[in-house]
Every structure is written in structure tokens, then in C-alpha cells.
Amino acid sequence: MIVELASEASVEGASVLLTPELGLCGYPPRDLLLREGFVDRCEHELETIASSVPQGMLVLVGHPESGPERGGRCYNTLSACRDGQVVARARKQLLPGYDVFDEDRYFQAGDEPAWVEHEGHRIGLLVCEDLWQADDVREQTNYEVDPVASLVELGCDVLVAISASPFVAGKHERQCQALGRLARRHRVTIVTLNRAGAEDDLVFDGAAIVANPDGTIECCRDPFGDQIHAFHELGKPYSASNAEMPPDQQRFLALVESVRGYVSKTGNQRVLIGLSGGIDSAVTAAIAAAAIGGENVIGVMMPSRHSSDHSLADSRELADRLGLAACLEVPIESIHHSVVESVRQAGGALGPLEDGSLADQNIQARARGIILMALSNAHGGLVLSTGNKSEMAAGYATLYGDMCGALAVLGDVLKMDVYGLANWMNTNAASCGFSSAPIPESSITKPPSAELRPDQVDQDSLPPYDMLDEIVRRWIEEEQSAIRLVEETGFDSEVVNRMLRMIDLAQFKRDQAAIIPKVSRRAFGRGRPWPVIARPGAAPAWRSATSAS
């Protein structure tokens, strides 16, 4: 692939081709790097590429490179290939260990800057964090070296950085600002390329950016764009503008990329989604339809005796709007009744199983999980779970029930942001690939309800979602203390205390959840390795700040 791309780029008049960080094997390879022969195979492929690229062209390839100790940690390397050989190697110097990164588990740090002379320019070579130094994610780091400054001191007038920088809403704008500042400060041209596509829980926007010495920015490929434009005449000013994407559009594009990548890379062609008529399942189905086509999405309605008529009507309307392959109706009442009777007979001595109790409600949710997984096993297709981040945080989800699935599409999207996504998709239907507004208005406007007991609404068990979202954002994404949360929001301390306890107690559920695509600064999953056995909430939360020890 890289050789073919190099040939195409050469025909277009380009003399340099960039590939993403670890582009030869994909990012993140994780423990594949520990498997015998894996890194050796990558190095062999690099030699093949170096011997095959067009004469005179500089091809920059990201790959793992064996370290000095056989079987030890390898290097995360950017190799410059030209005229049949590798002419320079830049080994990543800064190895992030925050958020989803665990790079010192696999890599050892390089200790020397690397550059290559090409067509009258001294080009400094950087790998991801060597350039960003966490400035784009606002993490606190304590790096002892500055690879950018080192290359500038060595006379580099162009810096090239390859990245596999996971998507976070708003991150692209911060990267453009950081690049502009760096280029202006050092009076150099900076060229960056990020990986595109999705890998498990990570999404990559594929952006290609050039920062000119005066700080102006040119995007050769917009985030999630379809084409990469050749960049010519390094060092000459550009007057490109970068209109910021609305956060809802960013989340939409990232989640579409996540679903498309997960489905295709696992060898599947279609998905199944439980349709409740509510906002979460509607938005999940719309994202899936945008990613792989409505004809590859199967909706499954699973009504109980508590389901409202509008739930079924809204689900059918959604299926029509999205052009779903099918909208099946599989009632759960017989399953529910059978399980309830079996549990009552088996556990009679332990006490009654009451109608409408939490156990009774969870039986209904788990009946739906059984149906979805049975359809998946029998007819193929991945199950997408539909819970949002607010519900996942509070534990307002049933393990082995509505949490069933391969991918929790909205698991990093707060409830109010789900509404934002729905309204944005309806307003921008054509740009999303829909012929008309995809989400039924009733799904947006009606009070959210699990419909597991009579007249139930979410707010029976949870505070208003705008309040819950703010608690989740501050407690999870910002890691604020309980004291600060209460003082800055003015929320009732008893409500906050109850929610923090619920959030921490639900960790055992999240540890068993489907993969959650990361679209925020701090998502549930491997970027937040939280202990299951931990004291919930914050014990001294409600002492005043002045009296806290």
C-alpha cells in the first residue's frame, strides 16, 4: 500500500510522502509487539518499502524497531526512506503514560534528534508526543527534553511529525493553535499527519496540517475528510482559514468512523439495535445507518406490558426514515413471565419477587438482551448497545441486559449531548447522508423512560439530566473533588453525594461493558482504570473547605 501511494504521489509531483505513526503495523498494536517475530516482520517490510519507492522521493514510514536487547522493549520509529535505503531514523523520545497511553510498557525512549536533508531543506523528524508534548490535551507532564527545540537548534527549517492522536471533541482546534504558536515561535514550517480510521475504542481523524513560519495554518486534509491535498513550496505563506466544526458534528463524524471501522475490521456486515422509541436508540441507529447504510441495520422492538403505543410507533417511524433492513417486533412478556415464575418457585423461601421491583425490571431488560444476542447468533451481525455516558456513570443500565453488545456507541456521550446530536442530525440531514430528518420529533421531545414499570420516567431515579451531566463531567472528566463540585455548582450536597456513590458503585458494571468509543477527554474504559473495590464517593466531601484537613 505504501509503495503504491508513493508512486501515485510522485506522479502528482510530490517529493515527500508521510505515513502515520506506526503506520506499517497500525496503532495501537498493544501486546502484538510482544509476540515473537512481529517486530522482525515489520522491519522486513520496511526494507521492502525502502527498496521499492520511486527514486529521489522521500518516504517517511512509522514502524516498530527492535531495541538493543533481544526480546526487550522496541522503539517507536519514524524512518526516512530514499533511493533504496533508510537514510535516517527518528526514535520517539517522549512516551506518554496518561489517558489511554501506556507506551513505556512497549517502547524505550530514543535519546537523539534526527533529521534528513532533502531538496534544500533540513527536515526534522518527530513522532507524535515529541511534537505535542501534551499541549493539545491539557495534561500535566514533566518531560525533561524538548525535541522541537533540539531540532531547531540543529538548523532544521522544516519539522515533520507523524501521529496516531486519538480523537477528542475540540482537540483539532487546540492542535491548530498549538502548531501556530510553535511555528511562529521557532520561525519554522511544521507539517503533521494523523492516522485515520478507528481501532477498538479509539478514533483517529486523519487530519493533515501545515503551520507556516508566520503561524498561519493550512489543512491539507480536514478532520474526517475524504481527500488529502498535496502541499507544495514549503516556507511560502498561505491564507487558509480553519472554520471550527460544531462539537455535535465532530462527535457525529467520530462515532460514524468508529462504527464503520469496528464493523468492517471484525469482518461483519450488519448490526442489530434494540429500538425503544427513545432518543438513545434512535441516535444509535442513525449513526449506524450513516456508517454502514440503513440496509445493513436491523432494528428490534421488544415491547413489554409496560410499553407505550408511541414507543412502537416512534420505532417504526425511525426505521422508515433510516431505511432499515428490518424492524422486527419480538414481545418479551412470555420470557418475562417464565423467568419470574421460575425465580419465585426457586427462591420462595428467600422472600417474594414483587411486581415492579428492581429485580422484576431487570428481568425484562435481560430478556431483551437474550433476544438480541440470539438474533445475532442465529442470523449474524453485531449488537450495538445504546446506553449513554450519563446512564453508564450512574449505573442506570442493566448488566447482561441493555448493556449487551459489541460496541456501546454513545457510552462516551452525555445525555444532553445525545439530544444535541439528534437535533444537529435533523438540521443537517443531507450532509449526514439522509434524505430527510432521521430522528422522529417525538423521540426528542418525550420524557425519557425505561418503561419497565407503570408510568416510569428516568427522573424517578435520577436528577434532571442537565444536572447529572454536570456532575459526571466534573467528577469523571475533570476529576474534581466533591467539595469543589458542590461549591462551584451550588447543587444540593445530598443529591451530589448520592450520585457520586452511585457512580463509584457502578464501576463493576462498566468493567464488563461493551467497548466505548472515546470522544471526550476522559472516557470510561482503559483510559480510566478505576478500582472496582474502592470506597464509593468521597468520605470528607461535606465538610467545609476551610475545615477540611
pLDDT of the residue at 131: 95
Proportion of the chain above pLDDT 90, given as a percent: 75
Judge whether 27 lies within some domain.
yes
- 153 by Cβ neighbours in 10 Å (0-12 / 13-18 / 19+) ranks as exposed
Tell me: the pLDDT tens digits for 418-432? 999 999 999 999 999
Q: Is there a single domain that holds both residue 273 and residue 213?
A: no
Single residue among 245, 274, 302 that ends a domain in this structure: 245
Q: Is there a single domain that holds both residue 196 and residue 312?
A: no
**Angle at CA of residue 53, ends 48 and 55, nearest 5°:** 130
Return the H-helix or E-strand segment holding 489: helix 482-489
pLDDT of the residue at 69: 77
Q: Is there a single domain that holds both residue 179 and residue 328?
A: no
**pLDDT for residue 57 is more than 80:** yes
Q: Is there a single domain that holds both residue 296 and residue 341?
A: yes
The predicted model gives 270-275 an average pLDDT of: 97
Judge whether 474 lies within some domain.
no
What global pTM score does this model have?
0.91
Q: Is there a single domain that holds both residue 186 and residue 266?
A: no
Judge whether 378 lies within some domain.
yes
Partners of 88 in the beta sheet?
Answer: 80
Q: Is there a single domain that holds both residue 201 and residue 74?
A: yes
pLDDT of the residue at 156: 97
- Residues annotated as catalytic are 21, 92, 128
Q: How far is 18 from 125, CA to CA, in rounded Å? A: 11
DSSP string over 42-80: HHHHHHHHHHHSPTT-EEEEEEEE--SSTTS-BEEEEEE
pLDDT of the residue at 547: 34
DSSP string over 14-38: -SEEE--TTTTT-S--GGGGGSTTH
CA atoms within a 13 Å half-sphere pointing along the CA-CB vector of 375: 27
CATH assignment at residue 369: 3.40.50.620
Q: How far is 298 from 330, CA to CA, in rounded Å? A: 13
**pLDDT for residue 411 is more than 70:** yes
pLDDT of the residue at 427: 97
Judge whether 485 lies within some domain.
no
**pLDDT for residue 204 is more than 90:** yes
How many Å is the Cα radius of gyration of the chain?
Answer: 26
Q: How far is 375 from 373, CA to CA, in rounded Å? A: 5
Cell of 158: 522544516
Amino acid at the residue 510: R
The predicted model gives 73-101 an average pLDDT of: 95
**pLDDT for residue 335 is more than 70:** yes
Partners of 382 in the beta sheet?
Answer: 271
- pLDDT averaged over every residue in the chain: 90
Report how far apart the first and last C-alpha atoms of the chain are (Å, whole number): 60
Residue partners of 47: CB distance under 8 A and separation at least 6? 86
Q: Is there a single domain that holds both residue 312 and residue 423?
A: yes
Tell me: the pLDDT tens digits for 142-178? 888 999 999 999 999 999 999 999 999 989 999 999 9
Give the pLDDT band of residue 43 (cuts 50, 70, 90): very high
pLDDT of the residue at 309: 79
Domain count, the chain: 2
pLDDT of the residue at 230: 56
Q: Is there a single domain that holds both residue 32 and residue 94?
A: yes
**pLDDT for residue 284 is more than 70:** yes
Specify whether the CB–CB gap between 532 and 508 falls below 8 A.
yes
Q: Which domain holds residue 160?
A: 2-245
**pLDDT for residue 534 is more than 90:** no
pLDDT of the residue at 543: 41
Give the pLDDT band of residue 227 (cuts 50, 70, 90): low
> What does DSSP say about strands 158-163 and 189-194: parallel, antiparallel, or unpaired?
parallel
Coil, strand, or helix at residue 144?
coil
CATH assignment at residue 38: 3.60.110.10
What 8-state DSSP symbol labels residue 477?
Answer: I
Give the pLDDT band of residue 447 (cuts 50, 70, 90): confident
pLDDT of the residue at 157: 95
**pLDDT for residue 245 is more than 50:** yes
Single residue among 440, 458, 476 that ends a domain in this structure: 458
